[in-house]
A and B are shown apart, each in its own frame.
Chain A
């Protein structure tokens, strides 16, 4: 059955991606949607919700407002909330209903910005795309609008791009990546967008190089490259062997100004029957680490939208498969699979399965088992499995 998932879960949607990317930046995120309950956008996919405040609201779209195109109610409510809560910016994101009736949220945001006098962003999300689309667009829009275009580059300065709990949970992965960089003499300008302020992000142009740790950061990296000439390195630090490659590439990129994909020279062979199923950049990075240690690079099945920016990241032996049947087919000859536990039922029954939970796929279910990426030891991970 095409375009149907009868067994496996679905990924967090583009709407969650916007909320997640902007959560810590001191703004107000308004989901233009029916109902007054915002747990759909926060608690289910947002592990920070219980421990840190963020202004995430639902507009409470009614049937008649949708039918009559009453955008003024949305504008008036947002402006009223801005006056009371004084956020640093406003982001309005769409959901299926405004998408269907053609609500132009970018234009509504323009009107609010003119009236309320603070940056206001409209995102044409629709709840039908994955978090990659929403989060990458949200971060890139911030880069376009709010970065200081006169920033001067600093040596050994780096931005970390693509950090959200949807890919890294809140188990210390992002902090560990930052520590790895600091211990190697890098000054971190901003982490997009966990643990950094809006002011930190505005200074993005000061970085000598950008590190892209998930697909979410690719679009922003390309924009910053085009705007500031900053080279970027794509790779998620994980096992020490691959982290060293990433650190080496950062140095090279700073010196020659050329962008690099740290795993590009480590490609799977056609005969390989080891698979990593999940998000492209983190999976390719893990495949590279396994390749360095074992000499066999696993194939990656990238299970999310093919962002145009990803085309240069996946290798020719990798697969993009979004639907249940496609994923099942892509890994049908698997001997070993590394994936979120919710993929287990659709994989070959006799394959050896290594669980790597992914917050954007299984939410809080296996959160305690999500590893700190920089502490991954691929030899331990593969354990008794001989490859």
Chain B
């Protein structure tokens, strides 16, 4: 089982990218689980196409422990197992602590043992702003962290912060930095800026995604690019990226 945490600045395209990667790996016959770690609970919508699904924290809040694993896990495109951690009411509670509680509940209910996914993606909200948001990279969770960034200064700054968190935790047996995914926004000197970032944090760019209207078109259909436009250039880019990420984890697909 390969467990990967995907971090990056809010709005950089993490959920879109992760969902397409999950779809690409599922097309190859792998069993993939995608866990959205964001109170908005909108990571997996393009895979399961439902208006909303019960989040882990909603189930715990309403039913304590009186629910089954199947209530938390929803099968989506090509059998991708979709989970939304959920979170507190906006402006209240503690979202970071919510991520911890949700991931612990998922493990307690035996999600990894029962479904035996080949690949698990943790799609994590924004930056590593507190202890809760480092949960997916802790011991027993992700093996590697991939950071998505564009060439925009704010995205690069967030990526550097995330890399610093990974570095700070190196004595704790946490996930290692797997690399950077460049999600192009076509800003000036974009590739050079992100390459410079990679050098600064002793990492590398493992794949690039072009800016494409196909992505928006698929999103309007509430689908992944791979499902909506399987023969598009963009679908090819996602498939290539999925291959490269697996290669970084020592798996050829």
B138–A104 touching, CB < 8 Å: yes
Whether A200 is near chain B, meaning CB under 8 Å from some CB there, is no
A102–B171 touching, CB < 8 Å: no
Given contacts A100-B97, A102-B97, A102-B100, contact A107 B131 (CB under 8 A): no
Q: B109-153, CB under 8 A of A: which get 1 and which 0?
A: 000000000000000000000111011001100000000000000
- Return the chain B residue nearest A103 by Cβ: B131
Return chain A residues, CB-CB under 8 Å to B173. Answer: 107, 110
B131–A114 touching, CB < 8 Å: no
CB of B245, distance to nearest CB on chain A (Å): 25
- Complex Cα spacing A103 to B172, Å: 12
Return chain B residues, CB-CB under 8 Å to A155. Answer: none
A102–B135 touching, CB < 8 Å: yes
- Complex Cα spacing A107 to B96, Å: 17
B172–A107 touching, CB < 8 Å: yes
Whether A101 is near chain B, meaning CB under 8 Å from some CB there, is yes
- Return the chain B residue nearest A69 by Cβ: B131
Whether A106 is near chain B, meaning CB under 8 Å from some CB there, is yes
CB of A95, distance to nearest CB on chain B (Å): 14
Return chain A residues, CB-CB under 8 Å to B238. Answer: none
- Complex Cα spacing A102 to B100, Å: 7
Given contacts A107-B138, A107-B139, contact A102 B130 (CB under 8 A): yes
- Return the chain B residue nearest A111 by Cβ: B171
Q: A120-142, CB under 8 A of B: which get 1 and which 0?
A: 00000000000000000000000
Return chain B residues, CB-CB under 8 Å to A101. Answer: 96-97, 130-132
Mark out the residues of chain A between 201 and 252 whose CB falls within 8 Å of any chain B CB in the assembled complex.
none
A107–B174 touching, CB < 8 Å: yes
CB of B116, distance to nearest CB on chain A (Å): 21
Q: Contacts A100-B94, A110-B173 known; list 19 others, CB within 8 Å.
A: A69-B130, A101-B96, A101-B131, A101-B132, A102-B97, A102-B100, A102-B134, A102-B135, A103-B131, A104-B131, A104-B134, A104-B138, A104-B172, A106-B139, A107-B169, A107-B173, A110-B172, A111-B171, A111-B172
- Complex Cα spacing A76 to B171, Å: 15
- Complex Cα spacing A335 to B131, Å: 52
Contact of B131 among A102, A106, A110, A111 (CB under 8 A): A102
A102–B96 touching, CB < 8 Å: yes
Q: B71-111, CB under 8 A of A: which get 1 and which 0?
A: 00000000000000000000000101100100000000000
- Complex Cα spacing A114 to B169, Å: 13
Q: A83-124, CB under 8 A of B: which get 1 and which 0?
A: 000000000000000011111101110110010000000000
| Range of interface residues on B (Cβ < 8 Å) | 10 to 19
- Return the chain B residue nearest A101 by Cβ: B131
- Complex Cα spacing A150 to B100, Å: 37
Return chain B residues, CB-CB under 8 Å to A102. Answer: 96-97, 100, 130-132, 134-135
- Complex Cα spacing A114 to B172, Å: 10
Return chain B residues, CB-CB under 8 Å to A110. Answer: 171-173
Q: B163-174, CB under 8 A of A: which get 1 and which 0?
A: 000000101111
- Complex Cα spacing A101 to B95, Å: 10
- Return the chain B residue nearest A102 by Cβ: B131
CB of B219, distance to nearest CB on chain A (Å): 32
A114–B97 touching, CB < 8 Å: no
- Complex Cα spacing A231 to B63, Å: 37
Return chain A residues, CB-CB under 8 Å to B96. Answer: 101-102
Return chain A residues, CB-CB under 8 Å to B139. Answer: 106-107
- Complex Cα spacing A104 to B134, Å: 10
CB of A199, distance to nearest CB on chain B (Å): 28
- Complex Cα spacing A102 to B173, Å: 16
Mark out the residues of chain B between 159 and 218 whose CB falls within 8 Å of any chain A CB in the assembled complex.
169, 171-174
CB of B114, distance to nearest CB on chain A (Å): 16
CB of B66, distance to nearest CB on chain A (Å): 13
Return chain A residues, CB-CB under 8 Å to B97. Answer: 99-102
Return chain A residues, CB-CB under 8 Å to B135. Answer: 102
Return chain A residues, CB-CB under 8 Å to B131. Answer: 69, 101-104
**15 A–B contacts, CB within 8 A, in A order:** A69-B130, A99-B97, A100-B94, A100-B97, A101-B97, A101-B130, A101-B131, A102-B130, A102-B131, A102-B135, A104-B134, A107-B139, A110-B172, A110-B173, A111-B171
CB of B60, distance to nearest CB on chain A (Å): 14
Return chain A residues, CB-CB under 8 Å to B100. Answer: 102
Mark out the residues of chain A between 351 and 367 whose CB falls within 8 Å of any chain B CB in the assembled complex.
none
- Complex Cα spacing A110 to B138, Å: 12
CB of A308, distance to nearest CB on chain B (Å): 10
- Complex Cα spacing A251 to B100, Å: 46
CB of A81, distance to nearest CB on chain B (Å): 20
CB of A250, distance to nearest CB on chain B (Å): 34
- Return the chain A residue nearest B171 by Cβ: A111
- Return the chain A residue nearest B65 by Cβ: A306
